[in-house]
Amino acid sequence: MKNPSLGEFEELVLLVVAAQHDQAYGVSILEDLEEKLSKKLNISAVHVALKRMEDKGFVKSRFGGITSERGGRRKKFYIITAFGKQMLDQQYALRTSIYQQIPNISFG
Residues lying near other proteins in the complex (CB under 8 A): 25-27, 30, 42-44, 47-48, 51-52, 63, 69-71, 73-76
Smaller CB separation from other proteins, 62 or 85: 62
Q: How far apart are CA 96 and CA 89, in angstroms?
A: 10
Beta bridge pairs of residue 12: none
Smaller CB separation from other proteins, 41 or 91: 41
Nearest to 69 by CA among 21, 13, 25: 25
Smaller CB separation from other proteins, 79 or 91: 79
- Cα-based distances in Å from 16 to 4, 10, 64: 19, 10, 19
Q: How far apart are CA 51 and CA 42, in angstroms?
A: 15
In the complex, the smallest distance separating the C-beta of residue 12 from other proteins, rounded to whole angstroms, is 18
Smaller CB separation from other proteins, 36 or 51: 51
In the complex, the smallest distance separating the C-beta of residue 3 from other proteins, rounded to whole angstroms, is 22
In the complex, the smallest distance separating the C-beta of residue 13 from other proteins, rounded to whole angstroms, is 14
